[in-house]
Amino acid sequence: MLTKNKLVTISEQEKLRAIIKIQSVALKAIHDFMESEKIDQVMPVILSKFTDPLGPDPGSTVIMTGEIEYLGQKLQLTQSMILHKQIAIGMGLHRFYIVSPNVRLESPKQKESGRHAFEFSQVDFEFKDAKMADIFKLVEGIIKHVRKAVELKASEELLKLGREYTPWEEEFPVYTTHELFDKYGEDWELKASYAASTPFFAVCHKREFYDKLDRSREGEHFLNYDLIYPEGYGEGLSGAERESEYEDILERLRVDKLEKQYKDFIEMAKEGKTFPSAGGGIGVERLVRFLTGMPHIRDVQVFKRIPGEPVII
């Protein structure tokens, strides 16, 4: 079982109450941190004319995008608010975050991963003119602040779950995906996660059109990043600096053969409504799973939404 928790005897109801208490403390700590950094909160949307394509990311296992029709207009369920965040920057917002519900209809095979849910929330954030280093500093600050808050305000719940934390003295390390691949092979994320004693950033992933290509270097290098939790818990955040120039966005969409699907976004970019920014999204359930030491993401969901498992309510 993927956990460093001590063996404890606890009822399922007690366990759930402890997990939800820790989740509540974690979310409040995030809100408090954002307020202290003068980062404003924006409300989410769950329907849109277009959403994150989640491709051609080789790590994506989404099999379809949810859609409804309302008053003759086809609307997609939000897979992430990345494109909304870019437009919000163009509307004049500079530093903001969103606790955003997402629906990603994953392949049933992801049931066994322990970290995939087809309905979840993330703390999505975006900052105008930010660079990767700015985001690394912010994310490390958030994660350390949250864990400290949980230790202080949910110590009884941690004890009930048998969860113990080891100190994080150093800054979160930064590695390229190339060096991680060379060291650990194709399954580098899980192996490096097990080997790590602190969260770390993995940079340079081949991903969607909105992740900025590093044009100062030859070949395909990207100004993007994941935060990987230790102890085998894997990726907990994805983010990037963003493509903002019209010609660059159009080129990337043409390469991915998505220009027709995103013609409205292309038009917004052509009108000068996209600006340089960087951001990311912290998966709430994955964070809570890591904080509580649970073996599967279903353990931290009150209403289970696991690929390959029927929805009960």
pLDDT digits (tens, 9 = 90+) for 209-227: 999 999 999 888 999 999 9
CA 227 – CA 51 distance, rounded (Å): 23
**Peptide bond preceding 56: is omega within 30 degrees of 0, i.e. cis?**
yes
Structure tokens given for 141: 């600050």
Strand-pairing partners, residue 120, are 102
Q: How many residues does the chain have?
A: 313
Distances in Å between the Cα of 217 and the Cα atoms of 214, 220, 221, 223 are 6, 8, 7, 11
pLDDT of residue 6: 65
User: Which of 89, 46, 16, 119 lies closest to 277, judged by CA?
Assistant: 89
The predicted structure's pLDDT at residue 236:
98
Q: Is the pLDDT of residue 278 over 80?
A: yes
**Model pLDDT, residue 3:** 46
Task: Give the Cα-Cα-Cα angle 178, 57, 219 (nearest 5 degrees).
Answer: 45
Q: Report how far residue 178's alpha carbon sits from residue 98's, in angstroms, rounded to the nearest whole number.
A: 32
Residue 150, token pair as written in the block: 């949980």
- pLDDT of the residue at 9: 76
Pull the structure tokens for residue 183. Answer: 């060291």
| Average of per-residue pLDDT across 195-199 | 98
Residues 240-272: b if buried by 16+ CB within 10 A, e if exposed: bbbbbebebbbebbeeeebbeebeebbebbeee
Helices (runs of H) and strands (runs of E) counted in the chain: 9, 13
**Domains, the chain, ranges and CATH?**
12-300 (3.30.930.10)
Pairing relation of β-strands 234-241 and 277-283? antiparallel
Q: How far is Cα 147 from Cα 240, in angstroms, rounded to an integer?
A: 24
Contacts of 109 (CB under 8 A, 6+ apart): 61, 307, 308
> What does the pLDDT average to over 38-58?
92
pLDDT band at 1 (very low <50, low <70, confident <90, very high): very low
Q: 51 vs 100, 104, 214, 273, CA distance in Å?
A: 13, 11, 24, 17
